[in-house]
Homo-oligomer: A and B are copies of this chain.
Amino acid sequence: MSRCGVSSPDSVIEEAPAATKRRLLDVAERLFADQGFDSVSLRAITAEAGANLAAVNYHFGSKESLIAAVIARQVEPINRRRLELLEGAVDAREIVAAFVDPVLQEAERSGADGGHFLKLMSRCTAARDEKVSALIAVQFREVVRRFVMAIGDACPGLSAEVVHLRLLFTAGAMAQSLFHLDKLAMVSEGRCEAPGLDTLRDEMVTFLAAGLETGTRDGDVK
């Protein structure tokens, strides 16, 4: 069960993580999702993980790097799955689905744990720190490149600039709606219940696919 053969030099996640290191990641992931990156102290993390305060600094170097490691461990498989799904996608609906579904599937998978994955993801989209946000940007470079190409093929007549913008709208709508979904009931004053993830998914794909296609060959122009 040795993972040492992987050898990913640039990755934040080191190979063969020590038991303590892994426990720190698990605890940090849960606490960060629940309370946000800044609200969780290293003392709270290390206490719950049964480790010493200095363990974080030893294994990760800083709280910032711990945050980056937690994010990377979640984002990497999501983005890999996105690229897999994109292979068979030909129209706008399928492209949007390839972008959205891995996130929602992961959300459902971690549903037993209270779905803290969604909270964590949406906290990332608003990364308060320039260093963290730059790290995330690197993680998304390949995904952006491939999805821009796919959208360009499926929606002929759009400039590269417009395609990039529409992908940005797509990512934003997804991230924000996941983040604020639970606030729908509050802000609508009872006129609307927070829908399930499957409803959200279908509505999101319909909405975003329409936006991607508009003004192109087989989309309406309004």
Contact = CB atoms under 8 A, between A and B. Distances in A.
Interface residues of A, number: 66
Given A191-B160, A211-B211, A165 B200 contact: yes
Contacts of A181: 168
Contact of A188 (B39, B92, B144, B174): B144
Nearest to A124: B126
Interface stretch (A12-20, A52-60, A70-78, A201-209): A201-209
A43 interface: no
A44 interface: no
A53 B168 CA distance: 41
- Can you tell how many copies of this chain the complex includes? 2
A66 to B, nearest CB: 16
Contacts of A93: 222
Contact of A123 (B92, B126, B176, B215): B126
A222 B208 CA distance: 12
Interface stretch (A82-90, A107-115, A133-141): A133-141
Interface string A144-168: 1100100000000000111011101
A80 B196 CA distance: 32
6 contacts: A37-B128, A148-B192, A164-B188, A206-B214, A206-B222, A207-B211
7 shortest A-B CB distances, which residue pairs? A126-B126, A172-B176, A210-B214, A207-B211, A169-B173, A220-B220, A36-B128
Given A164-B191, A207-B212, 7 more contacts: A125-B126, A128-B128, A148-B191, A148-B192, A169-B203, A169-B204, A220-B220
